[in-house]
A and B are shown apart, each in its own frame.
Chain A
Amino acid sequence: MARKVAVVAAGHSKFGKRYDATMRELCAEAYKPIYDAGVTQDKIDATVLSYAASQFTGQGAGSALMADYLGLQNIPHLRVESACTTGTASLRAAWGMVAAGLYDVMLVLGVEQMNRVSSAVATEYMSQAGDMRWEYPYGISFPAFYALMASRYMYEYDMPHEVLSRISVKSHHYGAQNPKAHLPREVTLEEANNAVPICRPLNLYDCSLITDGAAGVVIAAEDRVKEFTDQPMWITGIGAGASAMMIQDRESLTSIPGAKRAAKAAYDMAGVGPKDLDMVQVHDCFSIAELIAYEDLGLAEPGKGRELIENKEVYHDSRIPVNCDGGLKSKGHPLGATGLSMTYEILKQMRGEAENQSRQIDDVKIGLAHNVGQSGQFVNVFIFERGW
């Protein structure tokens, strides 16, 4: 019988173009609030310290560097990698070790430093997560994969691009209220809809940011939780999914099949459904990804996701708040940190501690994090429940 596991502390660096820091300093920035909350090095049994792509920094064996810099050099550590789901994959791995009884208290920290190379080079590195023989030679960049989904979605549901721009407007509305965000400024619908093209039909404001940053959480077994907090956030549902490597082989381009499977597994494990959720963090690496996530998570029927954004049902004071921290679009997307940034945000919202109370969601009891890697080859869905 697996032990219950809770998130007991979390930390988050400022996201952005962090030319003032390297991955080690970003890790320290994310760990410091955790340390200050009482989770000092001597209380940690083991760590998962991860980043998605070593090409960005050239650093090999990075978890050793991260552990050493944080004063955790004598504590077992490992790195987990699964593209943009690296953060939640690390949390999933750590959860398994704590639930099984191998360790009681673990630090899970994800980081990415992406701005030491140009945007074109960063785009090159990320495109290498496509099939190197059959996709990469055709210059299918990360946004291009999602543009292939967007073209098909817009065709099948006869949807104008403006719907996607409404999602970008929401993301920036909340990013502007988040002091941790990479690009904290509002954009108008007109600006978002008429921005320069990146991978048509997607434009600049449909695309998440190339961001430096780190985020981390501490998890503890049930009988150790009270040593750290009286406001634990239980991990009650974990679902993981996968999808075909080549995007041409997907039966649908208007859904991510692995995300649907991950969501079902997480809902089943937690014994809840989409109607029980008080807030959701989705992997909006592109605006179309957020729209598809509404449907894959069961928040809307296929083809009806647009109604959620058009009716503003996904705003912080509405029916089902989604990404009220700015999401990957405005808060930023440092690959290895993103899933843990989602977890951090849900904990803060649950505790009523949203950074800038103007975006505080009322009375969060259950939250969901949806983290997608590459174009759906990896998916993790977590359900968290308030423990007080």
Chain B
Amino acid sequence: MMSEKKELYLGYSSDKAVTPFFQEFLEALDQEKLMKSVCTECGTEFLPPRQHCQKCISLCELKEFTETEAKLRSYVVVDFAPESLTSKAPYVVAIGEFPSGLRLTAHITNLMSVPEVGMALKLAFEHIDDKKLTYKFLV
């Protein structure tokens, strides 16, 4: 169990309603494990996870997502940010695609220049000021 409630992500709370399912996701993230969800009926996989299967609306269970190498499908360098993230700009949002075809949207945090579509990304984790958690990409 996490010692205190933590939030997924940067400067602003993402989702005020933390369900038990999402709490389990956050607790795994606190251990630097990213969870996908797998439908208990049809086996369809989702990343990021969802509690109900998009295909058959059955319940899903969380399973550790073990892929770590992705390719950059697309990116944006956000220069003018929404108010809640103004202090973080510029930042890079990436869509990474893993070999399985599953995709993830996250920041790339260690770029020294504008990224290139197709470049290799590595999944990483970050604990921000001990209260926020995130997954991210590194190049």
Q: Known: A137-B8, A253-B73. Is A248-B79 also a contact (CB below 8 A)? A: no
* Chain A 88-144 interface residues, beta-carbon cutoff 8 Å to B: 118-121, 123-124, 127, 132-141, 143-144
* Bound-complex Cα distance A121 to B76 (A): 20
* Bound-complex Cα distance A253 to B72 (A): 13
Chain B residues with Cβ below 8 Å from A138 are 9-10, 93, 105-107
* Bound-complex Cα distance A28 to B5 (A): 50
Q: Is B118 at the interface (CB under 8 A from chain A)? A: yes
Chain B residues with Cβ below 8 Å from A69 are none
- Total number of A residues with any Cβ neighbor in B under 8 Å: 37
**Can you name the residue of chain B whose Cβ is closest to the Cβ of A204?**
B80
Chain B residues with Cβ below 8 Å from A155 are 74, 117-118
A152 touches B73 (CB 8 A): yes
* Bound-complex Cα distance A76 to B63 (A): 51
B76 touches A199 (CB 8 A): yes
A136 touches B81 (CB 8 A): no
Q: From residue A203, how far is it (CB to closest CB) to chain B in Å?
A: 9
Q: Is B83 at the interface (CB under 8 A from chain A)? A: yes
Chain A residues with Cβ below 8 Å from B93 are 138-140, 144, 148
* Chain B 64-92 interface residues, beta-carbon cutoff 8 Å to A: 73-86, 88-89, 91
* Bound-complex Cα distance A132 to B74 (A): 20
Chain A residues with Cβ below 8 Å from B118 are 155
Q: Is B6 at the interface (CB under 8 A from chain A)? A: no
A interface, over-half SS: helix
B76 touches A148 (CB 8 A): yes
Most buried by A among B48, B84, B106: B84
Q: Is B121 at the interface (CB under 8 A from chain A)? A: no
Q: Is A230 at the interface (CB under 8 A from chain B)? A: no
Chain B residues with Cβ below 8 Å from A151 are 74-76, 117
Chain B residues with Cβ below 8 Å from A36 are none
**Can you name the residue of chain A whose Cβ is closest to the Cβ of B116?**
A155
B10 touches A124 (CB 8 A): no
Chain A residues with Cβ below 8 Å from B114 are 200
B88 touches A139 (CB 8 A): yes
For B81, give its contact among A118, A135, A139, A202 (CB under 8 Å): A139
For A144, give its contact among B14, B76, B84 (CB under 8 Å): B76
* Chain A 55-104 interface residues, beta-carbon cutoff 8 Å to B: none
Q: From residue A152, how far is it (CB to closest CB) to chain B in Å?
A: 4
Q: Mark B1-42, 1 if CB is under 8 A from A, else 0.
A: 000000011101111000000100000000000000000000
Q: Is B60 at the interface (CB under 8 A from chain A)? A: no
B75 touches A148 (CB 8 A): yes
A139 touches B74 (CB 8 A): no
For B14, give its contact among A132, A141, A143, A198 (CB under 8 Å): A132
Q: Known: A139-B10, A140-B93, A144-B93. Is A152-B117 also a contact (CB below 8 A)? A: yes
Q: Is B103 at the interface (CB under 8 A from chain A)? A: yes
Q: List 13 A-B contacts (CB under 8 A).
A: A119-B80, A120-B81, A120-B86, A123-B82, A132-B15, A136-B14, A138-B106, A140-B76, A141-B82, A143-B80, A144-B78, A197-B80, A248-B104
Residues of A within 8 A of B (CB): 118-121, 123-124, 127, 132-141, 143-144, 147-149, 151-152, 155, 196-202, 246-249, 253
Further contacts, 19 of them, CB under 8 A, given A124-B82, A152-B73: A118-B83, A119-B80, A123-B80, A127-B82, A134-B105, A137-B10, A137-B12, A137-B14, A138-B9, A138-B107, A139-B78, A140-B76, A149-B74, A151-B74, A155-B74, A155-B118, A196-B79, A200-B76, A248-B105
